[in-house]
């Protein structure tokens, strides 16, 4: 009997790109007077392309190093172990995302955002490439948080024409929020890979600290995401009813994460509900 193989749609796994899309939605929600709405949307798409490249690099690197060999939704498994085409696809996606981002910043006269965006893209590339990929070191979780927190910062910088204290504080809170969300998602799926990661030399947080502590930190980071989302929303909405509604939804999702075994879907879906509540 032949081994079951995921479909193309399953391998693409569209929901996982919410980690790139939600920061863009948040920027538009928390800066409703922005004159760069269209640019933020296209810039968010550029981030999705870069994330797609990183996802491909991740599957290829893990396959070659023997980490996560049982991953059903693996691009390498989908291509029957052929990695060359996947690496080409990854480089094309990375280049297209980078060029699209540069074009948007040029058209909006925001080229200075590249000072932040460029090292973030480089860190994302090195996360799965190089002699020792960053994802295989103790820096992996930090890089993930910094990169996705940086996504919000870059999009926020693109969306605003002012550099006041209020804009700076909002950008900082938003960056913390999406760094926490990305960290929570990453940690939520590490425990199931402890044995294979350890055997492949991948010293993830879960390998270093065990399942229970990893899930605890994942839940705490999700709680931080909810708290910062409430703080951001309070700056743009004076409606007590809507603020209480968001508080209720965030509280309910926190209880849900405490009562279920964490995994990326069980973090992303509740997080999306919180953002939808802000609409």
Question: Domains of the chain by range and CATH?
Answer: 8-277 (1.10.600)
pLDDT, tens digit, 9 for 90 and up, residues 168-184: 999 999 999 999 999 99
Q: What local confidence, expressed as pLDDT, does residue 3 receive?
A: 60
Separation of alpha carbons 272 and 221, rounded Å: 15
The residues, any chain, with a CB within 8 Å of residue 202's CB and separated by 6 or more, are 65, 67, 135, 136
Asked whether the beta carbons of 34 and 40 are under 8 A apart, the reply is: yes
Pull the structure tokens for residue 178.
């999406």
Angle, helix 140-159 to helix 37-65, in steps of 10 degrees: 170
pLDDT, tens digit, 9 for 90 and up, residues 71-83: 778 899 899 889 9
pLDDT, tens digit, 9 for 90 and up, residues 186-198: 999 999 999 999 9
Residue percentage of the chain with pLDDT more than 70: 98
Please state the pTM of the whole predicted model.
0.93
Residue where the block lists tokens 């980490």: 67
Taking the CA atoms of the chain, what radius of gyration do you get in angstroms?
A: 19
Q: What local confidence, expressed as pLDDT, does residue 6 receive?
A: 80
Least confident of 4-8, 192-196, 273-277: 4-8
């Amino acid at each position: 009997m032949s081994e079951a193989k995921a479909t193309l749609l399953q391998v693409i796994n569209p929901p996982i790109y919410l980690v790139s899309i939600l920061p863009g939605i948040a920027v538009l929600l928390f800066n409703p007077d922005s004159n760069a709405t269209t640019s933020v949307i296209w810039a968010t798409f550029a981030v999705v392309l870069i994330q797609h490249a990183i996802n491909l690099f991740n599957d290829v690197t893990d396959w070659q190093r023997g980490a996560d060999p049982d991953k059903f939704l693996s691009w390498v498994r989908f291509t029957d172990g052929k990695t060359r085409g996947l690496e080409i696809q990854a480089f094309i996606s990375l280049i297209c995302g980078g060029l699209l981002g540069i074009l948007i910043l040029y058209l909006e006269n925001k080229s200075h955002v590249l000072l932040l965006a460029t090292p973030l893209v480089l860190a994302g590339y090195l996360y799965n490439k190089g002699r020792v990929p960053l994802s295989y070191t103790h820096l992996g979780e930090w890089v993930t948080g910094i990169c996705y927190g940086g996504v919000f910062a870059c999009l926020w910088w693109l969306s605003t024409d002012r550099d006041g204290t209020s804009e700076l504080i909002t950008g900082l809170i938003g960056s913390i929020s999406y760094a926490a969300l990305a960290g929570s998602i990453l940690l939520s799926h590490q425990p199931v890979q402890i044995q294979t990661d350890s055997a492949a030399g991948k010293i993830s947080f879960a390998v270093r600290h065990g399942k229970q502590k990893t899930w605890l930190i994942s839940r705490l980071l999700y709680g931080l995401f909810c708290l910062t989302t409430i703080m951001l929303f309070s700056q743009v909405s004076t409606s007590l009813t809507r603020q209480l509604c968001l508080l209720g939804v965030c509280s309910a999702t926190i209880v849900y994460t405490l009562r279920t075994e964490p995994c990326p879907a069980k973090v992303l879906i509740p997080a999306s509900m919180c953002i939808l509540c802000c609409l």
